Amino acid sequence: MLFRAVYFDCDSTLATIEGVDELIDAIDPGLRVELAELTERAMNGQVPLAEVYETRLARIAPRRDLLHRVGELYVQNEVPHARDVVQALRASGKHVGIISGGLLLPVRMLARDLGIPEVNVHAVPLEFTASGDYVDFDRRSPLWQNGGKVEVLLGLPAEHRPVAFVGDGATDLETQMDGADLFVGFGGVAAREIVRSNAEAWVPGPSLAGVLRHVLTAGERARLRSQPRFSELLSAAEE
């Protein structure tokens, strides 16, 4: 299939960290065990995402300046070959974007570093007071609930279809056959059994390069391989 767009999850897909864990550590490391367990259960599809989302943000109540620090950590902890894969996809004429249940400000910072246009970045905005104190998250966003990524994918412009989606968790797997024309499971950071055993396509990692095998045609890969800046990446994609 000739894909016109490829969208990615953020945490544990484009970056090796979970942004919410960094928020917890910055405020109260003692909360990490409690809330990390909730997060993991949501990513494995054991509890509704909405239940976990509200609990996490209410307990953390992050200040606006802390979100900038999380964005910096995303950039410092990019998955191997993440930037190269984005460049290769865009050089092949694909639209590239992010659809994440993470927080919009830091996700945008990562997207900017990877070369992903801001218009293609979908995540959950937070609301703050004038002094930067947390008020609430934007409950109009569908991305804090199960099915949110499907809704965003279905709302993409017609020129972004067919679209492939790449992610690591149960909420990403929801896009398979419902929103995405292909779902690619990525296990380079967190190899979740529910995703590995059910995904149409699977990339074990640790590099993101293997995604290219599934979202580019043989002809597209050959054209990229002929360009010196992408030849090494394409070799990594075939491993």
What homologous superfamily does CATH list for 5-237? HAD superfamily/HAD-like (3.40.50.1000)
Give pLDDT, residue 42.
66
For residue 199, is it left (φ>0), alpha (ψ between -120 and 50) or beta? beta
Written as one letter, the residue type at 234 is: L
Q: Residues 141-156: what's their mean pLDDT?
A: 95
Residue 120 pLDDT grade (very low, low, confident, very high; cuts 50, 70, 90): very high
In eight-state DSSP terms, residue 176 is B
Per residue in 2-33, pLDDT tens?
A: 999 999 999 999 999 988 878 877 766 667 77
Prior bond of 206 cis (ω within 30°):
yes
Per residue in 41-97, pLDDT tens?
A: 766 767 676 777 888 888 888 899 999 999 999 999 999 999 999 999 999 999 999
- Residue 174, SS3? coil
Per residue in 177-194, pLDDT tens?
A: 899 999 999 999 999 999
Return the domain boundaries, the chain.
5-237
- Is the CB of residue 175 less than 8 Å from the CB of residue 155? no
- Residue 102, SS3? strand
- Side-by-side strand order, sheet with 201-203: 121-124, 95-103, 5-8, 163-167, 182-186, 201-203
